[in-house]
């Protein structure tokens, strides 16, 4: 289904829920997050500031994405001898970054999960047609048994992510065991990806008709 949006503003959580149901989760916004997004959108932001503030937003998105992975009940004893009923992060997950912008999210994941395995996929897009194809993929050998946190900060058409998901499913990963961790996406990209892989879960910090496609160039300093 083609989605055409002429309203140039970020979507709120109610609109997201109405259009995409449980497929898309919006990072709950606040003034702190809005400031980070403003700095990343500003054409006058220096490269050094861009990386610094992008890393802050990435950390928030990664922390929220981890909340979509399984936790199990556990009990611990506090220093005063009391029983505390808590939760323990489950094993059997891995990260996969889409080169190159997705690599910007690897450190944020490692800061939370010190020794998590991280695979990589390189997808190349044609600058004119936006057609994407996979050039390279390397995963943990047991990836088919793992839940996958797929990392890519920008979705403009969604083509890059669709190709990356293709490779994962070809390696035996079930669609409903993939969580896409994303910073900015367009409504058209979400619609395209949801139509393509309806059972994958997507978490983003902003749904906006204009994608900040300068992200990779500015973060890595290749502009």
Ligand X SMILES: O=P(O)(O)OC[C@H]1O[C@H](OP(=O)(O)OP(=O)(O)O)[C@H](O)[C@@H]1O
Place of tokens 């709120």: 12
Among 61, 62, 216, 218, binds ligand X (CB under 6 A): 216
Bin 183: left if φ > 0, else alpha if -120 < ψ < 50, else beta.
Answer: alpha
Stretch that binds ligand X, among 44-52, 65-73, 87-95, 154-162 (CB under 6 A): 154-162
Orientation angle between helical segments 187-196 and 13-20, nearest 10 degrees = 30
Nearer to ligand X, 175 or 220 (CB): 220
Nearest approach in angstroms of CB 103 to ligand X is: 8
Provide the 3-class DSSP secondary structure of residue 80: coil
Give the binding range for ligand X (CB under 6 A) out of 9-17, 33-41, 150-158, 169-177: 150-158
- Specify the stretch interacting with ligand X by CB under 6 A; choose among 7-15, 48-56, 78-86, 209-217: 209-217
d(CA 218, CA 142): 34
Give the nearer residue to ligand X in terms of CB position, either 132 or 197.
Answer: 132
Supply the minimum distance, in Å, between the C-beta of residue 12 and ligand X. 22
Q: Is 191 in the site for ligand X (CB under 6 A)?
A: no
Q: Which is nearer to ligand X, 125 or 169 (CB)?
A: 125
Q: How far is the CB of 157 from ligand X (least distance, A)?
A: 3
Single out the residue of 220, 176, 186 nearest to residue 3, CA to CA.
Answer: 186
Nearest 10 degrees: Cα torsion 137, 142, 143, 149:
-110
Closest CA to 148 of 122, 169, 125, 133: 169
CA distance 95 to 173: 12
Please pick, from the candidates 155, 168, 183, 188, the single residue that binds ligand X as defined by CB under 6 A: 155
Query: Interaction with ligand X in 109-138: which residues (CB under 6 A)?
Result: 125, 130, 132
From 17, 59, 68, 100, residue interacting with ligand X (rule: CB under 6 A): 100
Q: How far is CA 86 from CA 73, 77, 198, in A?
A: 6, 10, 32
Choose which of 65, 160, 181, 204 interacts with ligand X (CB under 6 A).
Answer: 160
Least distance in angstroms from the C-beta of 99 to ligand X? 6
Per CB under 6 A, does 209 bind ligand X? no
d(CA 152, CA 184): 9
In the complex with ligand X, the residue whose CB is nearer, 60 or 180, is: 180
Q: Could you tell me whether strands 24-26 and 201-207 are parallel, antiparallel, or unpaired per DSSP bridges?
A: parallel
């Amino acid at each position: 289904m083609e989605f055409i949006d002429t309203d140039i503003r970020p979507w709120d959580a109610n609109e997201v829920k109405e259009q995409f149901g449980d497929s898309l989760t919006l990072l709950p916004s606040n003034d702190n997050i809005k400031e980070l997004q403003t700095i990343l959108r500003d054409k006058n932001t220096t490269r050094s500031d861009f990386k610094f503030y992008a890393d802050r937003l990435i950390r928030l998105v990664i922390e929220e994405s981890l909340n979509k992975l399984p936790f199990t009940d556990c009990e611990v004893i506090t220093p005063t001898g009391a029983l505390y009923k808590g939760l323990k992060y489950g094993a059997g997950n891995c990260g996969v970054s889409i080169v190159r912008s997705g690599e910007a999210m690897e450190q944020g994941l490692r800061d939370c999960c010190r020794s998590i395995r991280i695979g990589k996929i390189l997808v190349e897009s044609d600058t004119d047609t936006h057609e994407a194809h996979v050039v390279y993929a390397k995963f943990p050998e047991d990836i088919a048994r793992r839940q996958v946190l797929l990392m890519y900060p920008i979705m403009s058409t969604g083509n890059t992510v669709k190709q990356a998901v293709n490779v994962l499913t070809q390696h035996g990963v079930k669609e409903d065991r993939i969580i896409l961790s994303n910073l900015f996406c367009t409504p058209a990209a979400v619609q395209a990806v949801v139509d393509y892989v309806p059972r994958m879960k997507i978490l983003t910090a902003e749904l906006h008709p204009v994608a900040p496609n300068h992200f990779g160039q500015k973060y890595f300093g290749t502009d």
